[in-house]
Amino acid sequence: MYGKKIKSYLLLIMVLTVQMAFGQLKGMMIYLSDGNIVKLAVSQIDSINFKNNVVDIDSNVYKIIQIGDQCWLAENLKVTHYRNGDPIPNVTDATEWNALTTGAYCNYDNNSSNAEIYGRLYNWFAVTDSRNIAPEGWHVPSDAEWDTLVNYLGGFDVAGGKLKATGTTYWASPNEGATNESGFTALPAGLRGYNGTFGSLVEGYSALFWSSTECDGGSAWRRALYYGHDDINRYNDNKPWGFSVRLVRD
């Protein structure tokens, strides 16, 4: 009986998100646990949040995980539109990428199939665009919020292992100290350098995540995990670089 109910809920979610994506859904009736009913026009819906998932404007469904007092995405962002519906440019040309001073994303190696597992890579301008890269109720973590996560997991020296997916299916050997006890499931999604070149995904070397915090006029703070270490590193890098993005709940 419960299996049938779960399948029905999943089918309903799929139908609703597809209809939203193609403009077929005109409104939604929401039945609350207290017996009240709320009716919303589709134009009023920025995202759909379920207990253990969040759905972005492109209808991508993400797992979420509670770590201490913070709630995080348990996978990398792959959205291609800002919250208001404006497209985030997909810039494939290396020279154009290097010259950007506005938001953009790319797929690793310009191969869209990489996005399903690893998410997409975004420059810092997309991360901080006022149109918002995150669904309603979520945001790109600040440098201080990354610190909160790291401190909860025991500090700089050990937090990396607790954030990395285990094994060597995606990470290069030895994937030092990886336990994923946090449920964060960091994967080595690689990077795109400010000169437009890609690196580290095929080799399984590193996972790099933007923060929303500027370091100086030309750089911003990010976090990095590596296959050969169980710590987590904090660096500042140039804003045109392409890194992964995780979100934290408001």
pLDDT at 3: 35
The answer to whether residue 208 is domain-embedded is: yes
pLDDT at 200: 86
Q: How many domains does the chain have?
A: 2
pLDDT at 11: 39
100 and 27 in one domain? Answer: no
156 and 192 in one domain? Answer: yes
Burial of 147 (0-12, 13-18, 19+ CB in 10 A): middle
The answer to whether residue 175 is domain-embedded is: yes
194 and 124 in one domain? Answer: yes
10 and 77 in one domain? Answer: no
98 and 205 in one domain? Answer: yes
> CA-to-CA distance for 217 and 215, rounded, in angstroms?
7
235 and 111 in one domain? Answer: yes
126 and 10 in one domain? Answer: no
The answer to whether residue 51 is domain-embedded is: no
Q: What is the pLDDT of residues 97-112, one digit of tens each?
A: 999 999 999 999 999 9
244 and 193 in one domain? Answer: yes
Q: What is the pLDDT of residues 143-200, one digit of tens each?
A: 999 999 999 999 999 999 999 999 999 999 999 999 999 999 999 999 999 789 999 8
The answer to whether residue 69 is domain-embedded is: yes
The answer to whether residue 60 is domain-embedded is: no
The answer to whether residue 50 is domain-embedded is: no
Range of the domain at 21: 2-45
List of the chain residues with pLDDT < 70: 1-37, 39, 42-51
212 and 112 in one domain? Answer: yes
82 and 139 in one domain? Answer: yes
pLDDT at 195: 85
The answer to whether residue 98 is domain-embedded is: yes
The answer to whether residue 125 is domain-embedded is: yes
Report whether the peptide linkage leading into residue 174 is cis, meaning its omega lies within 30 degrees of zero.
Answer: yes
The pTM score is 0.81
**211 to 82, 122, 248: CA distances (angstroms):** 17, 11, 11
- What proportions of the chain, in percent to the nearest 5, are helix, strand and coil? 25, 30, 50
110 and 186 in one domain? Answer: yes
pLDDT at 188: 96
